[in-house]
Structures are given as C-alpha cells and as structure tokens.
Amino acid sequence: MTYDGKLLEAVLTAGKAAGVDLIGIGGAERFADPALRAIFPEVISVIAIAFRVLRGSFRGIEEGTTFYQYTTTGVETIEEIMLPSALLKISAAIEDAGYLAVPQRRNQKLRKEKEKPNPEMLHTDWYPAGEKEPQLDFARAAASCGLGEIGMSGALLTEAFGPFQRTAFVLTDAPLPETPRAELHLCDRCGKCAAACPGRAVDEKNGTDPLRCAVYYRGAGRHANPFMPPDAYADFPDREAIMEGSAALDYAHACEIMDETYFYPGIKHGYVSGICGRACDRACYDHLEKAGKLKKCFVHPFRDGEEWRLE
C-alpha cells in the first residue's frame, strides 16, 4: 500500500498542536471488532489518540484529601474538552487531504447490556443501545493501534503513563503507515489492581466486573470513603458486607445500593465522582513504576509508603 507521507505529517502536527500525548495507527485488518466496519465500512486506517491523566490529578485521592479534582481534571475535562477538540483538529487535517475522517469519542450513557453499567455515569441515566448503535471497545482498539497492552484489570497500559490515560479514535479511508503493536511486557499479573479495589470488582480470570465497579466507584466501600455517614445502608441486611466490599450483587441489588450511595456530589456533564479513587489503576501505576517499566520518570515516586485507607 502506498502512503501519503504529507498526510501522516499533517495528522501528527494536528495532534501535537492539540496537546495529544500519544498517537498510534492501526490498519483496519488488525480489528476483529465488528463495531469498526458497522460504523464505517470503508475504513482503512484507525488513528488512536490518548491524553494522559496527570499524576497530580490523582494526588488528592491517593492521599484521601480531595476527591473532586480527579473526576473533573482527570475524567470530565479530558473526555468533554481535550479529546473532542483533538479529534476535530485531526479529522479536519484528514478531510483537507480529501479523505473522510470519522471521529469516535465515548458515548458514556449508551449501554450495550443492562447489567454492565458505566461506573462513571449514574446507573439511572443511561440508554439501552444494545446492538443498535455500535461503539468500539476502546481499550482493545487502542492496543490494536499500537498504543500499549491490556492489563489484567482490562485497562490499557502504556509505557509512558501506565494505566493513566484516556483515548479516542479517528476512522479514515486514508491509507496510513501502521504503528507496530506494543510488545506485551507491562502487566505481569501481579494482582495488585484486584487487591486494591474496595469492591472486589477485579478478578484474574474476568478482568473488571462493571456492576461491582459501578457500586464501589461511587463510594460503597467504607475503607475508601471519608464521606460515608455512620448510618449508611442501615436498612440493608447485608450492610456490613456491602461496606466491606464482599456483598453478593445481582443487578437489582446493585441498583438498590447505588440508589443509597450518594455521599458526595457529582461533576458537571453527569459524571459520578470517583470515590474509590481508581484504586486499581493507582496500585497498578505504583507497581509499574517500582518495577522500572515506565519510561516517563519523576523526581519523587508516585507512592511513598503504604496506600491510604480508612480503618
């Protein structure tokens, strides 16, 4: 296949100008995900972009001091401002060259399966899309574009930022040179992501259970939530198990718990505040940093001592 070198340069320049941290390109033949061709049957190349979530955005939840900053600067601003703006700039550069560019950001409120909520959205605020509106599997698509690998938790891990980034994509009918697939060397299945989750949502075999994650992301675990009142879940017979993260959950029970889990305000654009503090990703980042696997180095370690936890 012949490539338009000028177009590649234009894409990289547009991404850089928009502040994108990582860009990778995968040919459509790398993708088994049927959503890709359902969205754009003529797709030839997929461009993945990623913005880092600043280490500093995790500082408050890493130390149990401030909880607002992570969800607003680490989730909302990246999803609602940075990624869409970069997608539009890169897409415009492609369309200037005469090719079609189809931007893909997450639609946080569309759910394929009822029992698999998006932890970052209210469980009551969703639409049952089923197969009606296909969405890419973002972590797998990013790995197919050479950005990194999928860790045991299901998170995308990159050499630059570990699990700390968020992604979006441009599908195009322009032929572009592919980024080599990342060599799998980051996740050693240490299990630290699973051990850190206050709701036991991560398991070695199945990755992250989105239902358990939705319940505990918003703060049902007592060891991770300083805002929980003493009488929380008083009417639940399995109150202790809920707060310890060991409650058996089906969808109905998870919704009952989530209905009672509002101990801290949400963020604009409907984002639920991440009270668990993304403990899985922080434990993973700490592990990768200490193992010397991250290329981006800091003067001080991310975690110096024991993980913050309420007794």
What is the contact surface with ligand SF4 in residues (CB under 6 A)? Answer: 119, 151-153, 187-193, 197, 199, 201-202, 208, 213, 216-217, 276, 278-280, 283-284, 287
Find the shortest distance in angstroms from Cβ 252 to ligand SF4: 19
CA distances to 43, 221, 311 from 214, rounded to whole Å, are 34, 11, 22
Nearer to ligand SF4, 216 or 302 (CB): 216
The least distance separating ligand SF4 from the CB of residue 197, rounded to whole angstroms, comes to 3
CA dist., res. 198 & res. 245, Å (int) = 6
Residue 66 C-beta: closest distance to ligand SF4, Å: 17
Cα 262 off chain centre by: 22
Question: Looking at beta carbons only, is 16 or 189 nearer to ligand SF4?
Answer: 189
Smallest separation (angstroms) from ligand SF4 to the CB of 19? 25
What residue number has its CB nearest to ligand SF4?
A: 151
Nearest of 286, 294, 297, 301 to residue 160 by alpha carbon: 294
The residue (of 99 and 164) whose beta carbon lies closer to ligand SF4 is: 164
Q: Closer to ligand SF4 at the Cβ: 89 or 282? A: 282
Residues in CB range of 124: below 8 A, 6 or more apart: none
| Per-position DSSP letters for 227-257, written without gaps between them | T--TTTTTT-TTHHHHHHT-----HHHHHHH
State which residue, 63 or 188, has the beta carbon closest to ligand SF4: 188
Distance of alpha carbon 264 from alpha carbon 239, whole angstroms:
19
Q: How far is the CB of 121 from ligand SF4 (least distance, A)?
A: 13
Q: Closer to ligand SF4 by CB, 174 or 279: give it.
A: 279
Contact 105, 79 (CB under 8 A): yes
Q: Which residues, 6 or more positions from 50, have their beta carbon under 8 angstroms from its beta carbon?
A: 20, 21, 22, 23, 142, 147, 156, 158, 161, 165, 166, 167
d(CA 93, CA 103): 12
Distance between CA atoms of residues 20 and 13, nearest Å: 10
Structural element, H or E, at residue 24: strand 22-27
Select 36 or 53, whichever has its Cβ closest to ligand SF4: 53
Residue 262 C-beta: closest distance to ligand SF4, Å: 16
CB 86 to ligand SF4: min, Å = 25
Please, what sign has the CA dihedral across residues 174, 177, 180, 182? negative
